Amino acid sequence: MLAWLHRIFALSILSSTPLLIHYVAEWNRLHEYFFSFVSSDLTLYKYDYIIVGGGSAGSVLASRLTENPQINILLIEAGGHPHFLTGIPAFTPYLQLSPYDWSFETEKQDEACKGMIGNRCKWPRGKMLGGTAGMNYMLYVRGNKRDFDEWEEMGFEGWGYEKVLPYFKKSELQLGRYAHDTKHHGTEGNVPVSDSIYITPMAKVYKELAQLAGLPIRDYNAENQTGFDIPQLTMRNGWRGDPYRSYIEPIMNKRPNLKILTYSHVTKLLFDDNKKIVTGVELLRFGKTYNVSASKEIILSAGAIGSPTILMHSGVGHAQHLKDLNIPLVKDLPVGDNLQDHITTMLGPLLVNQSASFDVIETMSFSTMWDYFVHGKGPLSTTVAVDFNGFLVDENVQLHFIGVPLYADYGLHSRKTFNIDSTLWDDYFSKLYGLSSISVLPALLRPKSRGTIRLSSSDPLASPLINPNYLSHPQDIQDLIKIIDWVLNVLFDQKKASHHGLKLPQNGSKIPQCAKENNYWECFVRHFSLTMYHPAGTCPMGSVLDSQLRVHGLPNLRVIDASSMPLIVRGNPNAAIIMMAEKISDHIKESFELELLSKSSLGKEEL
């Protein structure tokens, strides 16, 4: 009886968590509205640099550039300050569809997302200082060294692995098992990188199965990425360690040359009369429009969706697309093309013994709360998403081993966050309530399908049209089916799986929509298509930017975020985005200091 009362109590807390997060976010916004004012000084003052977007890249840039007290920075963010609840890893799923999320969704997909309402997949993006890193699952993955060598081979000088490794190390504060490896890791940086504190008993099973399959257990952020390991997370003492918390909070109110403007939506860029120089930005804050100027540069760090959207609203994009929306053309560039994302599917659920599973309900017990808030440990210190992580580089696949069932909350929130159609949920997942299970997410690291970002209207507040064109290239579905076959028949072959209590559900083991299909797994993937939350490439080096991430034809406008990547990295992109911002920060500071030195020398000569 007591156990059931506990479960009812815990379930009530879980079900109310999204509402709680919504209220604290709205309270922050109202507090900012009533007690924070944009003075005339802010709009009249001319900054050296304006950074649009307070996510990973924006936070790094603002922190590094203001290390020089002569550089004045305005950091503009559409969202607000994150509440401390956003720093609790176990609350990560509940940040989706909250005020901290832009709550985007894709256009109707022809080849994928067929099990989602309207064939549309949800695309969560962070709307707060910290950006998507403030709501992601915190995996610290640099990508493969080949990624950066390939960038350099494409003609982007300075982006090879040996050139970018120092910036990975500069940003990293390695607190885990690999701190001794100073060749590959940094121990004095800003971003805390820790080993996953809490893992389920299944992590040992995954490790054993990987070794039986001949795969090494190794640090995938070192020399060789192929292998498996427990996750490395951007976390410290059980709390989220995103770039806002690690770069901006320590200097908040300590640098008079850094101003931060929240709840401010940049609507467009401002240009000089010749449309050759960007002079500032127009922004909307609580219903009022402001213009803010910069004397040096404007830097867009609004992400793979936000940055191309701002460019297009400003007249930088495909000429015909802008003409159709009556937006005056400034520069004809293929902005919004080349959209890439790591598509995945949820292989499973694979039933396991209850003793080996993760019980979401237990995260809400009094003992686990005490363990977390006093010691920074226990179930609340995990994102409940990834128990184990693996890379098969030759196959361009990343495997996430998920220790909690999708249906663990009985569909109260998970069903909405994935936009799962009621028929699929009721006919399949609801029948598994109460059963312990795990899942495997195989993600394509280098998908061949390419999508687009386009404007839906000339209204800068309207959501853009997001079309990833998932599985439009036939190779992508073939690669996913191939890796599913490998997981089921090699990694989890029947003998190994049964030894560890792993098995597919015997009754209703197939989703009804695909049960009669000859190629069940192809049908399954097309129905249960998922984003890995990694959009990239929409303002890439090459077609839109030069190797210093400056927009072609607009020398004082840069784009620094995932959209700048010509090819998506093989892994979670956050670490690479931080590296890119560190690298360009150095370049900007050097240019600024050289200009000051030149002016100083010129002044002395005139005397």
Q: Are 500 and 205 in contact (CB under 8 A)?
A: yes
Q: Note the pLDDT tens digit of each residue in 12-34.
A: 666 678 888 887 888 888 888 88
313 domain-assigned: no
Q: What is the mean pLDDT of residues 174-182?
A: 96
Chain centroid to CA 212: 32
Query: 382 falls in which pLDDT band (50, 70, 90)?
Result: confident
What are 229's strand-pairing partners? 389
Q: Note the pLDDT tens digit of each residue in 93-134.
A: 999 999 999 999 999 999 999 999 999 999 999 999 999 999
- Please say if the pLDDT value at position 233 is more than 80: yes
Query: Packing angle between helix 161-171 and helix 145-153, nearest 10 degrees?
Result: 130
Q: What are the Cα distances from residue 373, in Å, to 88, 214, 352, 379, 433? A: 10, 40, 30, 11, 30
pLDDT given for residue 10 in this prediction: 61
Distance CA 303, CA 561 (A): 6
427 domain-assigned: yes
- Please say if the pLDDT value at position 532 is more than 70: yes
Q: What is the mean pLDDT of residues 463-477?
A: 98
Query: Packing angle between helix 574-606 and helix 56-65, nearest 10 degrees?
Result: 30
- Please say if the pLDDT value at position 580 is more than 90: yes
Domain that holds residue 119: 110-126+197-230+343-451+460-531
Q: How many domains does the chain have?
A: 1
- Please say if the pLDDT value at position 380 is more than 70: yes
Q: Taking Cα atoms as reference points, which of 243, 289, 261, 209 lies closest to residue 492?
A: 209
pLDDT given for residue 70 in this prediction: 96
Q: What is the mean pLDDT of residues 62-72?
A: 98
Q: Is 525 part of any known ligand binding site?
A: no
159 domain-assigned: no
Q: Are 434 and 415 in contact (CB under 8 A)?
A: no
Residue 21 neighbours by CB under 8 Å, 6+ apart: 83, 85, 86, 91, 94, 95, 98, 100
pLDDT given for residue 254 in this prediction: 95
Q: Is 132 part of any known ligand binding site?
A: yes
pLDDT given for residue 356 in this prediction: 60
432 domain-assigned: yes
Task: Say what the pTM is.
Answer: 0.95
Residue where the block lists tokens 């840069």: 558
424 domain-assigned: yes
Tokens of 153: 């081979």
Tokens of 293: 């100027």
Active site residues: 534
Q: Are 161 and 149 in contact (CB under 8 A)?
A: yes
Residue 384 belongs to domain with CATH number: 3.30.560.10
550 domain-assigned: no
What share of the chain has pLDDT > 70, as a percent?
A: 92
pLDDT given for residue 525 in this prediction: 96
Q: Determine phi and psi for 335, rounding to 5 degrees.
A: -70, 135
Selected residue with higher pLDDT from 65 and 515: 65
pLDDT given for residue 144 in this prediction: 96
435 domain-assigned: yes
Q: How far apart are the first and last CA of the chain?
A: 90
387 domain-assigned: yes
Q: Note the pLDDT tens digit of each residue in 264-313.
A: 999 999 999 988 999 999 999 999 999 999 999 999 999 999 999 999 99
Residue 303 neighbours by CB under 8 Å, 6+ apart: 53, 55, 125, 131, 132, 535, 561, 562, 563
pLDDT given for residue 432 in this prediction: 84
- Please say if the pLDDT value at position 548 is more than 70: yes
Q: Note the pLDDT tens digit of each residue in 261-278.
A: 999 999 999 999 988 999
pLDDT given for residue 588 in this prediction: 98
Tokens of 546: 């030069």
Q: Note the pLDDT tens digit of each residue in 188-197.
A: 999 999 998 8
Query: 604 falls in which pLDDT band (50, 70, 90)?
Result: low
